Amino acid sequence: MKKNKGGILSITRRWLARVVIAIVGVWLAGIALFAFLPVPFSAVMAERQVSAWLSGDFSWVAHSDWVARDKISPWMPLAVIAAEDQKFPSHWGFDVEAIESVLDNQNGRMRGASTLSQQTAKNLFLWDGRSWLRKGLEAGLTLGLESVWSKKRIITVYLNIAEFGDGIYGVEAASQRYFHKSASQLTLSEAALLAAVLPNPLRFRADAPSGYVRQRQAWIMRQMRQLGGVRFIQQHKL
């Protein structure tokens, strides 16, 4: 009996090891391939789609329209950098000062301090929610992205897979949905409005912005100007 249990445990460990190796292999292949290929869908999009199917909605609820960086208004990367990660051009994936600040003030809870690189890694490869396991995997994947991809590539993928509303993924889909124009035509204020909903795109709405969203939009616009406007994007080749 003990021998059988030992055999079952051994087989289970071997299968778990194979699963882990397979998942890591998929992640490594994704980092390599998506360094130059368009991203067809993200893990977050897949999670939303599966949830819809499980709830009985068999329509296609999660999709994005991929656009190259030169087809996106320079105001848009500037807006998300101003809103989410102003040290993006200079850090290696992590904002150490922000992390230390969070750890000093959160009493063990996880929140904030995620850079655009970390958000890209999470959205592309991992699941939604908060846990130390996910944060650990996110850190490893972020290092992979920063090692292989350029900053321009990271911001391009981020803008193409970010969630801007219920079933609205990517800046092109958001621009068409909310402003009836291509992402290349977004203005400073429109880009700031889209960036304003990113912290919680299922609660905050770009098509019916609350007072808070309008206040955040105004703050983002001020930050965009303080960073130097489009010159900031040109200077850092983003």
pLDDT score recorded for residue 61 = 67
> pLDDT confidence of 52, banded at 50, 70, 90?
confident
pLDDT in tens, 92-131: 988 777 665 655 565 544 445 689 999 999 999 998 777 7
Give the chain as a DSSP string. -HHHHHHHHHHHHHHHHHHHHHHHHHHHHHHHHTTTSPP---HHHHHHHHHHHHTT--S----B----GGGS-THHHHHHHHHH-TTTTTSSS--HHHHHHHHHHSTT---S---HHHHHHHHHHS-SS--HHHHHHHHHHHHHHHHHS-HHHHHHHHHHH-EEETTEESHHHHHHHHHSS-GGG--HHHHHHHHHTTT-TTTS-SSS--HHHHHHHHHHHHHHHHHTTHHHHHHTT-
Domain 40-235, CATH class in plain words? mainly alpha
Q: In the predicted model, is pLDDT for residue 2 greater than 70? A: no
Domain spans of the chain, in order of start: 1-33, 40-235
> pLDDT confidence of 151, banded at 50, 70, 90?
very high
